[in-house]
Amino acid sequence: MTESQIAAFVYDRRNVAAVIPALNEALRIRDVVEGALAQCDRVIVIDDGSDDGTADRIADLPATVLRHASRMGKGASLRDGFREALAHGAAAVLTMDGDGQHLAEDIPRLIAAANRHPRRIVVGARLRKRAQQPIYRRLANEFGDWGIAWGCGFRIADTQSGQRLYPAAVAALQDVPGEDFVFEAQILISAARRLGMGVVSVPIESRYAGAGAVEKFRKSHFRPLRDLWRITSHVVAQVWGYGDVIREYRRTRATPAVIDDPSGEFSAPRRHQGGHV
């Protein structure tokens, strides 16, 4: 597409496919898929070797289910989901986790933000009700934001969120290295460096298990020490490869996160981010 065609393009439920990686999500997967189907015409679930009957819970729903015979990791699940979505002509891919942490009701807000901000990945940033987020997770997310922003060349609100909208050009990127949660970090960096894509964040609620929580969630697959080490070591190698790390750091810190928030509660002053705005 040309720049003018991109600017005029409209995303909607018909051309945005929902992709849901799932590993042992029998507890919430049916609610997640039903919610996604209410917002997107095409929903794709990747069952990553679950042994708890995850696929059985949604067998009667009009969603596409891809199954891995054994666990391959979130990166492999997302790649397979992207491939399936693009094969059916998706203009964008909307990802959300299978554990119920993300609300399907936020999907229209992410789609609307994508239409307002061409050539950007849209991230559902867990900025609302942050008191529900365990302190160790909050600190881990902030550290991850700091490092991944350095790799991208601009700051991002909530680089660890799995609820995102990727334009088709990003979902089609080949040779994006990294597995599991590293893949989600690297695809932001690859999109910024190779495609000139920016990122815009849309505030969503933080939803976690804990004292006072009404809804039940399974224990997170994210392990802060292990996964942050993997992400950090991977990103450091990327940043080092770009050269002049001090210049890159200064450029990153001078470019604030872009937040799409009509209420104005979380919005920061907009400045240039990425190669194309």
Amino acid present at 155 = R
Rounded to 10 deg, the angle between the 224-242 and 135-152 helix axes is 10
Q: Where are the strands (E) in 74-215, listed by range?
A: 92-95, 120-128, 164-167, 198-205
In the predicted model, what is the mean pLDDT of residues 122-151? 78
pLDDT at 228: 64
In the predicted model, what is the mean pLDDT of residues 133-141? 66
Residue with the larger pLDDT of the pair 211 and 108: 108
pLDDT at 274: 53
Q: How confident is the model at residue 211 (pLDDT cuts 50, 70, 90)?
A: very low
Is a pLDDT exceeding 80 seen at residue 98? yes
Distance CA 42, CA 29 (A): 16
pLDDT at 241: 72
Lowest mean pLDDT: which of 11-20, 35-44, 85-94, 138-147?
A: 138-147
pLDDT at 142: 78
What is the assigned CATH class of domain 12-100?
A: alpha beta
Residues whose CB falls within 8 Å of the CB of residue 131, separated by 6 or more in sequence, listed in order:
206
pLDDT at 88: 97
pLDDT at 96: 97
Distance CA 37, CA 39 (A): 5
pLDDT at 240: 72
Tens of pLDDT, residues 157-189 = 999 899 999 999 999 999 998 887 789 999 999
To the nearest whole number, what is the mean pLDDT of the chain?
85
Is a pLDDT exceeding 50 seen at residue 242? yes
Tens of pLDDT, residues 54-93 = 999 999 999 999 999 999 999 999 999 999 999 999 999 9
Q: How confident is the model at residue 272 (pLDDT cuts 50, 70, 90)?
A: very low
pLDDT at 127: 87
pTM: predicted TM-score of the whole model, two decimal places: 0.84
How many C-beta atoms lie closer than 10 Å to residue 64's C-beta? 15
Q: Give span(s): CATH 3.90.550.10, the chain.
A: 12-100
Q: Quote the percentage of the chain above a pLDDT of 70.
A: 79
Is a pLDDT exceeding 80 seen at residue 225? no
